[in-house]
Copies of this chain bind each other. A is one copy, B any other.
Amino acid sequence: MLTVYHLGLSQSERIVWLCEELDIPYRLEVYQRDPQTRMAPPEYKALHPMQISPVIADGDLVLAESGAIIEYILAKYGHGRLKVAPDDPAFADYLFWFHFANGTLMPSESIEMLGAGISGADQLRVGIGSDHPFVAVYTARTDRGFAMIEQRLGKVPYLAGADFSAADIIMLFALTTMRAFTGRRLDDYPNIRGYLARIGGRPAYQRAMTKGDPELSPMLS
């Protein structure tokens, strides 16, 4: 059986959510961040040489990296659901948003986060200050990303187009929980807020957040 190792307040919420959307059997193991440093505990870091989240196991296979895990689960257990096929007009859009999440948007937000100087001793130690020009460069890049998402969601209900897909599952963390780290607000993004309300109404998303991060109120507004 599939085991999902979920680190609280992390990208692995995507994997819990994916399993709930697909309604497949899985075993969930939840790990909490150190309350002082906000870092993953040693037991979580020991799961994979890169010490990153998410991580899954499936038999002898241990697999990390959001994009890889989502594609693996879709291929093995998805039966074609939540993907867009190459002959569908939405195929290129699906690919773009799927890869944009961790290839461009998340790295920009990570630097914005470190400039934001959120609470937590270790983060503050490495924080570079919100007034640093380096942070400004990446905050501007995140701004471009949010503007593009806002524009897209003014035209279509989901990122790949008419239908909810795994592109929404990988992108959502960058629009919700990641904001707990960056402090970014959505006042000027009505289309994104409407999208988040639609996602928040999904029973599978609600189940995933209740199981994975029961103490967190999902950042849907």
Contact = CB atoms under 8 A, between A and B. Distances in A.
Interface stretch (A128-136, A178-186, A190-198): A128-136
Given A67-B103, A107-B107, 9 more contacts: A50-B145, A51-B141, A67-B95, A68-B92, A72-B91, A76-B86, A103-B103, A111-B111, A125-B133
17 contacts: A50-B100, A50-B145, A63-B92, A64-B96, A64-B100, A66-B99, A68-B95, A68-B96, A68-B99, A71-B99, A72-B91, A72-B92, A72-B95, A102-B102, A111-B111, A114-B134, A126-B133
Interface in A144-194: 144-145, 147-148
Given A49-B147, A86-B75, A148-B50, A68 B128 contact: no
Interface of A: 49-52, 61, 63-68, 71-72, 75-76, 86, 91-92, 95-96, 98-100, 102-104, 106-107, 110-111, 114, 125-128, 132-134, 137, 141, 144-145, 147-148
Contacts of A126: 132-134, 137
B65 A100 contact: yes
Nearest to A115: B134
A13 B148 CA distance: 25
Secondary structure type dominating chain A contacts:
helix
A121 to B, nearest CB: 12
Contacts of A72: 91-92, 95
A75 B91 contact: yes
Contact of A144 (B49, B114, B145): B49
Contacts of A104: 50, 52, 65
Nearest to A85: B75
Q: Closest 6 A-B residue pairs measured CB to CB?
A: A67-B99, A107-B107, A68-B95, A102-B103, A75-B86, A68-B99
Contacts of A66: 99, 103
A97 to B, nearest CB: 8
Contacts of A137: 126
Contacts of A132: 126, 128
Contacts of A107: 106-107, 110
